[in-house]
Amino acid sequence: MDTATHKLDSAQAVHALDIATALVRQPDGSFLGSTSPAYGNMVGPFGGVTAATLLQSVITHPERLGEPVALTVNFAGALADGEFSIIAEPVRTNRSTQHWVLRLLQAGETAATATVVTATRRDTWSATDALFPQVPAAAELARTPPIERAAWTRQYDMRFVRGGPNPDGGWTPGADADTERDSISQLWIRDEPPRCLNFVSLAAICDAFYPRLFARRPKWVPIGTVSLTTYFHADSGMLSAVGSHALLGTARALSFSNGYFDQTAEVWSQEGRLLASSHQVVYYKE
Task: Kindly tell me if the per-residue pLDDT of 3 is higher than 60.
Answer: no
∠ CA 256-257-258, rounded to 5°: 145
Of 88-102, 160-174, 225-239, 250-264, the poorest mean pLDDT is in 160-174
Under 8 Å between Cβ of 156 and 20: no
Tell me: the pLDDT tens digits for 190-199? 999 999 999 9
188 belongs to a structural domain: yes
Task: Kindly tell me if the per-residue pLDDT of 45 is higher than 70.
Answer: yes
98 belongs to a structural domain: yes
Task: Kindly tell me if the per-residue pLDDT of 173 is higher than 50.
Answer: no
pLDDT at 58: 98
116 belongs to a structural domain: yes
Distance (Å, whole) CA 189 – CA 93: 35
**Mean residue pLDDT across the chain:** 91
Phi, psi angle pair for 78, to nearest 5°: -65, 130
What is the value of pTM for the model shown?
A: 0.92
**Taking the alpha carbons of 221, 114, 251, 198 in that order, is the dihedral positive or negative?**
positive
Task: Kindly tell me if the per-residue pLDDT of 168 is higher than 70.
Answer: no
6 belongs to a structural domain: no
Tell me: the pLDDT tens digits for 101-114? 999 999 999 999 99
261 belongs to a structural domain: yes
Distance (Å, whole) CA 213 – CA 217: 6
Task: Return the higher-pLDDT residue of 73 and 177.
Answer: 73
We report the CATH number of the domain holding residue 25 as 2.40.160.210
Burial code (b: 16+ CB inside 10 Å, e: under 16) for 27-64 equals eeebbebebbebbbbeebbbbbbbbbbbbbbbbbbeeb
Counting every residue, how long is the chain? 286
Under 8 Å between Cβ of 145 and 168: yes
Cβ atoms within 10 Å of 285's Cβ, excluding its own: 8
57 belongs to a structural domain: yes
How many structural domains comprise the chain? Answer: 1
65 belongs to a structural domain: yes
Domain that holds residue 261: 16-120+138-284
DSSP notation for the chain: --HHHHHHHHHHHS-HHHHHT--EE-TTS-EEEE--GGGB-SSSB-HHHHHHHHHHHHHT-TT--SEEEEEEEEE-SPPPSSEEEEEEEEEEE-SSEEEEEEEEEETTEEEEEEEEEEE----------SPPP----GGGSPPPPPPTT-GGGGGEEEEEEES---TTSS--TTPPTT-SS---EEEEEEESS-----HHHHHHHTT-SPPHHHHHS-----EEEEEEEEEE-S-HHHHHHHTT--EEEEEE-S-EETTEEEEEEEEE-TTS-EEEEEEEEEEE--
pLDDT at 79: 93
183 belongs to a structural domain: yes
